[in-house]
Amino acid sequence: MKSVLIGAAVLGVLAVAPVMAAGMPVCSADPSVIRMSPEQVKARARMMGFKVVSVEPDQGCWRVEATDDRGRRTVLRIHAGSGEVMARIDPAAIDRRATAATD
């Protein structure tokens, strides 16, 4: 039984290793990250077919409120250095009552 648990733990680590090694960008407040300007972020979103409503810094990423080609509202989180879309969020799914922890 002990060897089965150890084997499962090793497989779990090996399954996660390629994702970590892929170097996927993570939003970071590190000032050494090359930051895109708000104008560059707007241009990037427009290239992807979005009509930009607003751009705000958001914990090391840019938060872009926009509409898609069908007129649906969406929120994009764009990496501040690479311009990669980290997340696309439906504003209706955001819980407006939720607040960040302050402790």
Residue-wise pLDDT for 27-66, tens only, equals 776 766 678 899 999 999 999 999 999 999 988 899 999 9
pLDDT given at position 35: 83
Q: Which of 64, 57, 50 is nearest to 35 (CA)?
A: 57
- C-alpha to C-alpha distance for 59 and 71, rounded to whole angstroms: 27
Q: Which of 23, 42, 32, 33 is nearest to 80 (CA)?
A: 33
Q: Where are the domains of the chain?
A: 26-93
Tokens of 37: 């300007």
Average pLDDT over residues 65-76: 93
Q: How confident is the model at residue 78 (pLDDT cuts 50, 70, 90)?
A: very high
In a 3-state reduction of DSSP, which class is residue 16? helix
> Is 0.75 topped by the overall pTM?
no
Q: Pseudo-torsion of CA 34, 38, 41, 46, nearest 10°?
A: -160
CATH architecture for segment(s) 26-93: Roll (3.10)
